[in-house]
Chain A
Amino acid sequence: MARVSNKWENEESWNYHITSKNIMREVINSDNDEDLNRLNEIQFDEKLLENTGEGDPPNMDFMRKLWAETLAYAQKIGMPLFVRPWFEKGGKWVISLYRQDSAYAERIGGIIQYIQYNEKAWKRCKNKKQRVAFIKDTRDWWNDNDTRDRTRGWIMKMWNRAIAWYDTKEFWEKLINFVINWCIDHNNEWQAHVMYDPKVWFPRGRGAINVQLHGGIA
């Protein structure tokens, strides 16, 4: 099965949405970088990235290509020893989240569109300090627009860890620059879609009553 149910109605979807996401959240919650090796504990089937006839979310081919070229670039510039054990697994996991979970696709796609829209601001950045400010602006745009409080803390931790690495580690600075530039340089391959508009990110509109009924824990 290349698409897992979001109703946890079989063991595969349970492993994906509960077991694997819990590992991911524990890794995010940990301040110890060594725990990133735990990403290898995620049971991940490469078929989750493939379209076996059930269809793809918008721009899935863009995401596959972005990942393939990012991986190739990381190998070309040389991955630090600490990164090598989990980088490929982690990257594929993120791309699978885009494909399998609309709440992730909405946010990831929205951020890519935000970056593409602000292309000129990015290209005006002359030094690392300005580029860090651009990435922080992007993070703050996401934070202002995301009303899902349950996941806010985890996503914010990912942003802040990425920004800290960008600021202090050459590999991550180069890699994140590559990803941003790639998204901008390939914007003619990107198709705008209403799902990326933060006004419809879950739970604004879809799920609005549900999230209130659960007191914000949905």
Chain B
Amino acid sequence: MKKEKFLVRDPILNTDVELERFNYDDYKVDKDLCTQLEFLKLFDNGGQPYEHPLLNLLNEAQADWKKHQQVCRDPNLLVVWKWMQCVENFEPEWKYKNAFINWARLNCILFQENPYWRSRLGHLLWWAVNYANQDSYYILKWEYHNDPRAWYKPGEPRRREDIPADLQGSGSAASS
């Protein structure tokens, strides 16, 4: 697998950090898979990021101890916010890049603002945490493409290595 260098913003130091990732660009886009994602345009907001005072406060808290203390009073919010930052760093360039980032930003805002959303998103987070417990009915297992450097791109079919051997057949899934 080819590797490539890429830059991400370190939010603490406020500088770019050069990292290395696998290059998963060797695939043909499956238009049906893209169509399934068309709903994302709801969040595109004309290509503009959603803005909110909460996001401003969280951003400023990275370099301001007093504001950091303020936001640390809600550690669960920080978990969602750190996820949102990760999405902002790693979502690839495509027509709904901004929409997916906005969806992440919306999740962060609603988590703090709207109890309906907070209870349900919190449930999802704890659902996953529960299944990391080795005593649970099923055990949450790490999949390499959970790493944002290995995220599937929009329209990218399942990679051959992700298809169970007994379902692979003779053709290549990546060429569908």
Contacts and interface: CB of A to CB of B under 8 A. Distances in A.
Chain A contact residues: over half helix, strand or loop, or mixed? helix
A18 B68 CA distance: 11
Interface string B1-41: 00000001010110101111100000000000000000000
B50 interface: no
Interface size class of B (residues with CB under 8 A): 20 to 34
Interface in A188-218: 209, 212-217
A212 B89 contact: no
B106 to A, nearest CB: 21
A216 B89 CA distance: 11
Nearest to A215: B148
A78 interface: no
Contacts of A215: 8, 19, 21, 86, 89-90, 147-149
A11 B146 CA distance: 34
Contacts of A216: 8, 19-21, 147, 149
A213 B147 contact: yes
Contact of A212 (B8, B17, B18, B146): B146
Contacts of B13: 22, 25-26
A75 B81 CA distance: 49
The main secondary structure of chain B at its interface with chain A is: mixed
A84 B66 CA distance: 35
Interface in B57-92: 63, 65, 68, 72, 82, 86, 89-90
B116 interface: no
A29 interface: yes
A38 interface: no
Contacts of B10: 150, 217
A217 B142 contact: no
Given A22-B12, A217-B89, A212 B147 contact: yes
A204 B12 CA distance: 23
Given A153-B18, A212-B147, A217 B8 contact: yes
A18 B66 CA distance: 13
Contacts of B146: 212-213
A178 B98 CA distance: 55
Interface of A: 8-9, 11, 14-15, 18, 22, 25-26, 29, 149-150, 153, 209, 212-217
14 contacts: A9-B72, A25-B13, A25-B15, A26-B13, A149-B17, A149-B20, A150-B19, A153-B18, A212-B142, A213-B146, A215-B86, A215-B147, A216-B21, A217-B86
Given A8-B72, A215-B21, 10 more contacts: A11-B65, A153-B18, A213-B147, A214-B82, A214-B148, A215-B19, A215-B147, A215-B149, A216-B8, A216-B20
Interface of B: 8, 10, 12-13, 15, 17-21, 63, 65, 68, 72, 82, 86, 89-90, 142, 144, 146-149
Q: Considering the complex of A and B, which 8 residue pairs feature the smallest CB-CB distances, nearest first?
A: A215-B148, A212-B147, A216-B19, A149-B19, A14-B65, A215-B149, A215-B90, A25-B13
